[in-house]
Structure 1
Amino acid sequence: MFLFNRYVCTVLLLVVLFAVMGVRSAMAHEGRNVGDYNFIVGFIDEPAIEGMINGVSLRLTSLKEKEPHDHNAHTGGVEQSSDDAIHSNAVGGIDTLEVEVTHIASGISKLMSLKESFGIPGQYEVGFIPTSPGPYRFRFVGDIKGQAVNEIFESGNNTFDEVKSAKEIQFPLQLSAPRETENAARGALETANEAREDAANVASSASTGILLGAIALILGVVALSLAVLAFQRSGRKA
């Protein structure tokens, strides 16, 4: 009996856990009506982690009155117990939408073409690897069956997840991100270049000083020679 109760509790716990995860996944996307359509937008995988493959996710559905489908087209001719028609408001077959992805902190952006996921009508995605943490902006442009689209979604606390630094979930060791390593290497290279330029300037200044000193020495010798010559001439006259 104890084992049975323990089994039941475990099953209930798993059910609650998966339900919470499902709610969290839904909350991590932003939903908004755009004209005759509803957009649900976010990263493909959330939380989004710096340096890990991810992408833009768009779930597109129609707000227009649903059109009933033929039962037999979905049931293979098997009679159903319910008389309700099977409905679907997913908007598939759209190849005229693009998304401009912007890393807000740096202002760097790139325009990408959305592709419909195989076997999932109305689900559009495009993959990329976010290489910097922080908030991102997704601007959808193009048209949907003649309706022009120019809609902006930004990550945030009340929308969809911002990209997190990989250090936040690394365990047991926290490793430097490729971005940090590259920045450190770039900084070291710039410092080395500056030091080389300074050394070259010092060497150039030293060379100039030596040259000027040599010229001064030559002029001094010439002046001394002229003075001796003048002294000798004055002695002869005397």
Structure 2
Amino acid sequence: TGVMLFKLHNKKYDRITHCGVLEFLPNEDKTCYLPNWMMHHLLLQEGDELCVESVALPTARFVRFQPQSKDFLDISNPKAVLETALRNFNCLSKGDIIAINYLNRNYELHVVELKPADAVSIIECDMEVDFAPPIDYVEPKYIPTTTQNIATTPKTTTSMATTPGDPLSGIPSSFKNSSSFMPFHGQGNRLDGKNKSKDQEQQNNLQIQQTRGVPNYDYEYGTLQFLRLP
């Protein structure tokens, strides 16, 4: 790729990481400048001795990060944010804790796993990114919902026929009374002055004789009954 990669080794504490280079400057003191998070990872103080070695690293295929705070979960699209932030990195080492900035806030990510090696180059590569749960993340406890028994008062229904032997026991007495009110029960006259026909009188008498509101319990389904006038 033409990009120079280096292995940084703090022999005092046996801490190792890998990095690229931003620029070379003429320096007689043999001094290098490192990001603050990298010095923290290597347990370095200003002026400490550091071993720098040029290396060639394989191209990354897979990386798994573990956020150091559950606040990282508040980012709406963490993979897109991480993809943008990783453009500032040339390589990754297993065990590193890198820092990315998003919306003026720093988030630390621990490199938990790498493939195909423990140190890889991420320049112009197509790698799969995965996240482990943050170190301070607590799984929510599942509380099963219990069904509460609701006491209900049984509804009482009034049966129309309370006595099996009496089919009319559930019918109000006003409907069983044959002498109940009948509209237009008076005597009518014809306009031409003639007497009413016998058929009309018989029909009126039949209406009086019929009991109002009492059903025919002997009716058979599918049959027709014709009432003959006396």
| TM-score interval, normalised by the smaller of the two chains | under 0.3
TM-score for both structures, normalised by structure 2: 0.26
Which is strand-richer, 1 or 2?
Answer: 1
Whose helix proportion is higher, 1 or 2? 1
Q: Give the greater-gyration-radius structure (CA).
A: 2
TM-score scaled to structure 1, two decimals?
Answer: 0.26
